[in-house]
């Protein structure tokens, strides 16, 4: 333990070199700016930055890329709050309460809560990375197809907590999401499904055009409807009181349980390869809503919901580095790119990294903390500028948002097909809003379905079609019991609501 503290202290002191500090701040600034633009995100930014780091030392290069990672993850929340357009898929959950807060004239408060949640989520994720990397990685290593299938079934069941006032409408949205998730190549049989002859659909629908369409384009259509009715469109109102511009001490105190709980959820989800920050954000949001004393406020401008979503998706950053550093298995797309960048610079991650590059590992821990500090100050400096931009009339903002939507969708694969997908889902999202069908269940079901289907089929193939394999393995059984618990709770709540209606 003493040796561990000594190594950690040495790593932190090395991280505070001027060159590393400068590269971290630069990375955070680049990440925030790119994260705001729908469809770009930290993965693309880091991929583009790798060639620029060839002439840099490994520590300077990784410092720059970690800064981009942190800044990009937070940056997605800015556009989600101000214009209802998630800059990254993970920020889709942020729109649920972030944008309603902005419509109440509390955009400054929402941005500050999101920043604090991001910093706390990052810090807690890094804390767990530092002290629990190897134990958590050992648990994640035990997750085979059977355990993963049960985990994802549990996550899909939690969609019921996001279904608003109508369980039926939530299930309809989830069903649509699961159906859309089956489009493309069947990874087990190697056959294409529901592509209707479009080669561009062989890899399935891309989530970025979908998210941009469902949230941003649908909002543009909604605002256009108001403008056609001789209205100026919904303006983001100016703050009513000075407290609307800041996160007050009572606000922070109210959100603290969600900061902590969601950060732990995000870290745990991040440590499981392939689940990702989108899943963590929605699960954190669902748990916060279930635990809240005021669940009816969620989706209407709840700072608790905003805090949960942002803490959860930012904590994934630290969690996703756990399997990458200790197992050589990237936790998400960004860590896969980071792993490639480390390899380029001669650093090979995996079980032996603590033996071969122990000092480098602890310096990375220090760089992660440095990037969080940089994120806080860069975020604070940028809030005022972004908030002033949001006070423009929607009739001016929405054409700009439309342009960003098209750029974001096209930049996914540089294909017009993605632009058409974005426009189609904009119409679908608009219709769903009109019918009061919630959007989040569709997104999370779409994200989880391919992996759930693959894990389920692989588990059954390994057990020769024996379904009892899901109850004979302790981890799998645990998740199935949690699933049953959620179903019973949702059913009881629905029955009580039905009895309460006169």
Mean pLDDT confidence for 36-41:
69
Place of tokens 């959860």: 312
Classify 437 as helix, strand or coil: coil
Q: How far apart are CA 151 and CA 178, in angstroms?
A: 16
% of the chain exceeding 70 in pLDDT: 83
Q: How far apart are CA 55 and CA 147, in angstroms?
A: 43
pLDDT of residue 477: 92
The encoded tokens of residue 373 equal: 């500090």
Q: Which residue has the higher pLDDT, 500 or 455?
A: 455
Report whether 183 contacts 450 (CB < 8 A): no
| Residues constituting the chain | 502
pLDDT of residue 332: 66
How many CA atoms within 13 Å lie on the side-chain side of 283? 30
The encoded tokens of residue 84 equal: 């209802």
Q: How far apart are CA 450 and CA 457, in angstroms?
A: 11
The encoded tokens of residue 91 equal: 């920020």
What are the residues whose beta carbons fall under 8 Å from the beta carbon of 66, sequence distance 6 or more?
24, 27, 338, 364, 367, 368, 371
DSSP state of 216: I
Q: Which residue has the higher pLDDT, 407 or 354?
A: 407
Mean pLDDT confidence for 226-231:
64
pLDDT of residue 239: 58
Mean pLDDT confidence for 33-62:
77
Mean pLDDT confidence for 57-69:
87
For 147-265, list the strands marked E by DSSP. 184-185, 192-193
Using the predicted structure, report yes or no on whether residue 75 has a pLDDT greater than 60: yes
Mean pLDDT confidence for 411-420:
82
Q: Confidence class of residue 52 from pLDDT cuts 50, 70 and 90? A: confident
pLDDT of residue 424: 93
The candidate with the shortest Cα–Cα distance to 323, out of 128, 480, 478, is: 128
The encoded tokens of residue 430 equal: 């608009």
pLDDT of residue 423: 93
Using the predicted structure, report yes or no on whether residue 207 has a pLDDT greater than 50: yes
Q: How far apart are CA 105 and CA 453, in angstroms?
A: 43
Q: Confidence class of residue 500 from pLDDT cuts 50, 70 and 90? A: very low
Q: Confidence class of residue 390 from pLDDT cuts 50, 70 and 90? A: low
What are the residues whose beta carbons fall under 8 Å from the beta carbon of 167, sequence distance 6 or more?
160, 490, 494
Look at strands 184-185 and 192-193 and give their pairing. antiparallel
Highest mean pLDDT (candidates 129-133, 302-306, 394-398, 438-442) = 302-306
pLDDT of residue 431: 92
Contacts 24+ apart (CB under 8 A), 13-19: 13/366, 14/59, 14/359, 14/363, 14/366, 15/63, 15/363, 15/366, 15/367, 15/369, 15/370, 16/366, 16/370, 19/60
Q: Confidence class of residue 446 from pLDDT cuts 50, 70 and 90? A: confident
Using the predicted structure, report yes or no on whether residue 502 has a pLDDT greater than 50: no
Highest mean pLDDT (candidates 216-225, 409-418, 472-481) = 472-481
Classify 352 as helix, strand or coil: coil
Place of tokens 């999202």: 429
Classify 184 as helix, strand or coil: strand
Which residues lie across from 184 on neighbouring strands? 193
Mean pLDDT confidence for 450-454:
83
Using the predicted structure, report yes or no on whether residue 282 has a pLDDT greater than 50: yes
pLDDT of residue 481: 92
pLDDT of residue 26: 92
Which residues lie across from 192 on neighbouring strands? 185
Using the predicted structure, report yes or no on whether residue 116 has a pLDDT greater than 80: yes
Which residues lie across from 193 on neighbouring strands? 184
Mean pLDDT confidence for 60-68:
89
Going 482 to 486 to 489 to 492, the CA torsion angle's sign is negative
| pTM assigned to the model | 0.68
> Exposure string (b/e) for 183-221, b if CB count within 10 Å is 16 or more?
bbbeeeeeebeeeeeeebbeebbbbbbbbbbbbbbbbbb
Q: How far apart are CA 259 and CA 254, in angstroms?
A: 10
% of the chain exceeding 90 in pLDDT: 5
The encoded tokens of residue 439 equal: 């959007």
Highest mean pLDDT (candidates 38-52, 53-67, 193-207) = 53-67
Using the predicted structure, report yes or no on whether residue 482 has a pLDDT greater than 90: no
What are the residues whose beta carbons fall under 8 Å from the beta carbon of 67, sequence distance 6 or more?
23, 24, 25, 26, 27, 28, 29, 30, 31, 371, 374, 375
Q: How far apart are CA 321 and CA 125, in angstroms?
A: 9
Q: Confidence class of residue 425 from pLDDT cuts 50, 70 and 90? A: very high
pLDDT of residue 356: 73
Q: How far apart are CA 219 and CA 439, in angstroms?
A: 12
Place of tokens 């033996």: 355
Report whether 7 contacts 364 (CB < 8 A): no
Least confident of 74-83, 115-124, 187-196, 473-482: 187-196
Report whether 26 contacts 68 (CB < 8 A): no
pLDDT of residue 501: 42
């Amino acid at each position: 333990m003493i040796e561990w503290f000594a190594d950690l202290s040495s790593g932190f002191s090395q991280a505070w070199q001027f060159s590393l500090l400068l590269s971290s701040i630069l990375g955070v600034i680049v990440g925030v700016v790119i994260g705001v633009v729908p469809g770009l995100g930290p993965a693309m930014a880091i991929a583009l930055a790798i060639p620029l780091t060839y002439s840099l030392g490994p520590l300077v290069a990784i410092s720059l890329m970690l800064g981009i990672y942190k800044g990009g993850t937070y940056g997605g929340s800015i556009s989600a709050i101000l214009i209802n357009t998630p800059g990254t898929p993970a920020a889709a959950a942020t729109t649920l309460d972030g944008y309603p807060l902005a419509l109440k004239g509390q955009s400054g408060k929402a941005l500050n809560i999101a920043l604090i949640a991001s910093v706390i989520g990052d810090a807690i994720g890094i804390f767990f990375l530092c002290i629990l990397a190897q134990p958590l990685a050992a648990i994640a290593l035990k997750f085979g197809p059977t355990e993963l299938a049960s985990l994802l079934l549990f996550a899909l069941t939690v969609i019921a907590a996001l279904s608003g006032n109508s369980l039926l409408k939530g299930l309809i949205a989830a069903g649509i999401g699961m159906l859309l998730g089956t489009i493309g190549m069947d990874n087990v049989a190697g056959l294409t499904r529901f592509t209707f002859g479009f080669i561009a659909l062989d890899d399935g629908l891309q989530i970025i055009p979908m998210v941009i369409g469902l949230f941003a384009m649908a909002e543009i259509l909604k605002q256009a409807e108001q403008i056609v009715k001789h209205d100026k469109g919904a303006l983001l109102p100016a703050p009513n009181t000075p407290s609307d511009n800041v996160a007050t001490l009572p606000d922070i105190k109210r959100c603290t349980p969600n900061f902590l709980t969601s950060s732990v959820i995000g870290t745990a989800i991040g440590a499981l390869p392939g689940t990702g920050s989108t899943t963590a954000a929605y699960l954190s949001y669902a748990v916060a809503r279930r635990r809240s004393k005021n669940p009816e406020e969620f989706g209407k401008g709840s700072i608790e919901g905003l805090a949960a979503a942002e803490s959860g998706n930012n904590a994934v950053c630290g969690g996703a580095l756990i399997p990458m550093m200790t197992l050589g298995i990237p936790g998400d797309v960004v860590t896969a790119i980071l792993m490639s960048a480390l390899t380029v610079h001669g650093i090979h991650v995996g079980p032996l990294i603590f033996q071969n590059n122990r000092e480098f590992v602890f310096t990375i821990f220090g760089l992660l903390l440095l990037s969080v500090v940089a994120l806080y100050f860069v975020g604070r400096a940028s809030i005022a500028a972004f908030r002033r931009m949001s006070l423009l009339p929607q009739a001016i903002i929405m054409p700009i948002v439309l342009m960003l939507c098209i750029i974001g969708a096209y930049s996914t694969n540089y294909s017009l097909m993605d632009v058409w997908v974005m426009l189609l889902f904009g119409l679908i999202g608009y219709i769903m809003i009109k019918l009061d069908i919630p959007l989040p269940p569709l997104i999370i079901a779409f994200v989880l379905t391919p992996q759930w289907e693959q894990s389920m089929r692989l588990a059954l193939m390994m057990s020769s079609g024996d379904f009892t394999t899901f109850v004979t393995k302790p981890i799998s059984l645990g998740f199935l019991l949690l699933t049953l618990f959620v179903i019973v709770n949702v059913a009881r709540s629905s029955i009580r609501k039905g009895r309460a209606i006169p």
